[in-house]
Amino acid sequence: MISQYPSLVPIEAAKAGFRQSIPVTGGASAPLRPVLVILHQETSSPGRVGNALRALGHILDIRRPRFGDPLPDTLDAHAGAVIFGGPMSANDPDEYVRREIDWIEVPLREQRPFLGICLGAQMLAIQLGAKVAPHPEGRAEIGYYPVRPTAAGRKLCPLWPEQVYHWHREGFELPAGAELLAAGGDFPNQAYQYGNATGLQFHPDVTTAMMCRWTTRGHARLDTPGARPRHHHFEGRAVHDPAERAWLAHFVDGWLAREPMPALAEAAE
């Protein structure tokens, strides 16, 4: 269970400790709810997304369902949830993959902020009835590639980076009822929004250390058609990372500010 990961703080203890550290007007104190973070490998990290959430004052409730961690029945105790990427496919038959896809129904039903990154975005697409599949010509996006924000994407975040970092060989259809936020080349659907849920095909979470690790341990994948050579990853980071980092900070702040629409307000319309 969660206690097997020494870096994790039990949620109730974390909330209690944090309750004393967030000042509010009038000298009182109030907690910021933790953000649920779902990872897929023992060595995985929430990277820059985790850093951005911590900078806003949120504790991270990190869980790895692949290794037995449970998922909550409700997000009432959380500010939002993020499912990160991983080397597995959203189409894999593994029990934990199917369980995560099914669990996404919780934030959708409760209209809580949900973010899927790469694999997480593909899981969200499947939960919404869309297909996830490899590129028909076997191409991949591994490295930096151009991204084209739509009008909806620019409304969400006015300033987008010209290129963003990718590491995937599968893509998703745009789910019915979802709004496309950004388009690409070989994989045309790069970001979308469905209510309070957002899916990103790219990786704004990747730090320099993560890029070094991925391009070293996953070096064989750089031979996939469409993948960028290793040196291009670091050259691209020097050029595009400042804009991607600024975009992420703006996105995360707005994403967590979304509130569920009260059921009574919906019924009154």
Question: How many CB atoms sit inside 10 A of residue 7's CB?
Answer: 6
Kindly indicate the confidence band of residue 17, based on its pLDDT and cuts at 50, 70 and 90.
very low
Candidates 160, 140, 165, 139; CA nearest to 149 is: 160
How would residue 31 be classed by pLDDT, with cut points 50, 70 and 90?
confident
What is the pTM (predicted TM-score) of this model?
0.86
pLDDT, residue 29, reads 53
Mean pLDDT of the chain: 88
pLDDT band at residue 261, thresholds of 50, 70 and 90? low
Report residue 139 as tokens: 């191409």
Chain position carrying tokens 């189409």: 91
Question: pLDDT tens, 177-189?
Answer: 999 999 999 999 9
Q: What is the pLDDT of residue 2?
A: 33
**Mean predicted confidence (pLDDT) in 139-152:** 98
* Interval 136-141 mean pLDDT: 96
How far apart CA 116 and CA 123 sit, in angstroms, is 8
pLDDT digits (tens, 9 = 90+) for 45-89: 999 999 999 999 999 999 999 999 999 999 999 999 999 999 999
Q: pLDDT per residue over 92-122, tens digit each?
A: 999 999 999 999 999 999 999 999 999 999 9
At 30 the pLDDT is 65
Q: How confident is the model at residue 264 (pLDDT cuts 50, 70, 90)?
A: very low
The answer, yes or no, to whether residue 263 has pLDDT greater than 90, is no
Buried/exposed 38-74: b ≥16 CB within 10 Å, e otherwise = bbbeeebbbbbbbbbbeeeebbbbbbbbbeebebeee
